[in-house]
Amino acid sequence: MATGSRTFRNLIGGEWLDAAGGETFESVSPATGERIGTFPKSTAEDVDRAVAAARDAYASWRLVPAPRRGEILFRFGSLVREAKEELAQLMTREMGKVLPEAGGDVQEAIDMSFYMAGEGRRLFGQTTPSELPDKFNMSVRMPIGVVGVITPWNFPIAIPSWKIVPALVCGNTVVFKPANDTPLLGQRFVELLAEAGVPPGVVNVVHGFGREVGDRIVRHPEVPVVTLTGSRETGVAVLRAAADNLKHVHLELGGKNAIIVMDDADLDLAVDGILWSAFGTSGQRCTAASRVIVHERVYDELQSRLVAAAERMRIGPGWEPDTDVGPVINRSALEKIHSYTEIGRDEGARLLTGGEIATGDGLERGFYYRPTIFGDVEPTMRIAQEEIFGPTTALIRVRDADEAIRVANGIRYGLSSSIFTRDVNLAFRAMRDLEAGITYVNAGTIGAEVHLPFGGTKDTGNGHREAGQAALDVFTEWKSIYVDYSGRLQRAQIDTAGEVR
């Protein structure tokens, strides 16, 4: 689809509207700097209109039988599948992922849509025996209302699906703020929802920036649920802003994920897993492996193999078939990543490869950083503690499994973790002892599947999970129901111990 000369609008109550203030911003390709399109730079006034539309639509949408809501989401999943190539091509241009990864991003949305559509015929509650005769007990899930959805740029189709699709099947309505670095992908997402038959006002998209649009969504008194994927700092600010209204807040935040490589590991497999986890999506994943904890017996060999493999990776635009590493999202990200290279050098870590902004062959038109590996990293160094969100990983030497697990856990985050070992006993110890919401054995730190819960411990979030059945707990409230068919008043919580009627 041609995009460069097009101007796009917000979708509010089924109508495409300019921002109330008339201001706009541009989306540009991180690979080349080309203009993708012009979008409304919205304000609180636009959010208020969207919330009003979502609130009005909620009155009828919550009463649509859940199986019918699921059927609409099945249609949506089918439309995304038909548009997969178009969306993947757009993603390589607007976000920068290499084409196979972009296709995987879209496939996650397809998988999530089909999985959650099936929940329209489940949404299981519970039935239990009553402590009284002639009485029936059950619990059911109830929708909550308007959900504020704030998503990042790194998974611009997948993450909206993780939030919006379960919110809809549960009977909620949505005000959606896509990332301002990938607004067109957010736009296409809601266009396909509308095409699938989602009624006007059920999903509204408001483009813009966090300080205006995101803040108003979080503070709006008629948005009882907020779901955000972003940085820890943003998550803390959202919690504080939402506190006065006692909102339901779901946060997916940072990660500083480690791959442990033991002395009995298959090193070829480990190198493949590290390359994919550290440099896939140019390291711009919350599950990226920015630490590699290596047993001292295989440290030198692994280091040698890993550096050689990283130096063979080709940097370039994501749509070129031989590209391994695409651009990072923008200049600010590029500068932050490079600043951590300087921090690592200053801390005394040894730069093994990379550590520079990539230029030549037209790369200077975009935001490219060479895959970077540090050796001789101490666990307490900043490059081993802070989220860099770029193609940088740190090698840490350990003596045994106990030290490896201790180092892996010695960070503020707890999202993803991995261990490469042939020792089944050690593998099960790691599954038990690694402080993370996700643990992989003999695989990297990325590759979650939609039917299991996704999320982390410690500063990675606030305890909620996306995907799987666990996602339903974010977007529903439990109601307990008691039906007394005895024909007489039975007083519960009255001591009748020992009585048999």
Distance CA 2, CA 30 (A): 17
Distance CA 469, CA 141 (A): 12
**Pairing of β 350-353 and β 372-375:** antiparallel
Distance CA 163, CA 216 (A): 19
**Structure tokens that stand for 221 in this block:** 């008194």
Distance CA 460, CA 59 (A): 34
* Cβ pair 392, 383 in contact under 8 A: yes
Is 252 annotated as catalytic?
yes
Catalytic residue among 94, 119, 252, 387: 252
Q: What residue ranges in 338-452 does DSSP mark as E strands? A: 350-353, 372-375, 392-398, 413-414, 416-420, 438-441
| Cα angle 98-103-107, degrees, rounded to a multiple of 5 | 150
Catalytic residue among 108, 170, 212, 286: 286
3-state secondary structure of 192: helix
Is 311 annotated as catalytic?
no
**Structure tokens that stand for 435 in this block:** 């402080």
- The residue with tokens 């106990």 is 402
Q: Which residues contact 293 (CB under 8 A, 6 or more apart)?
A: 258, 259, 260, 261, 396, 398, 404, 407, 408
| Cα angle 66-69-70, degrees, rounded to a multiple of 5 | 90
| Residues with catalytic roles | 252, 286
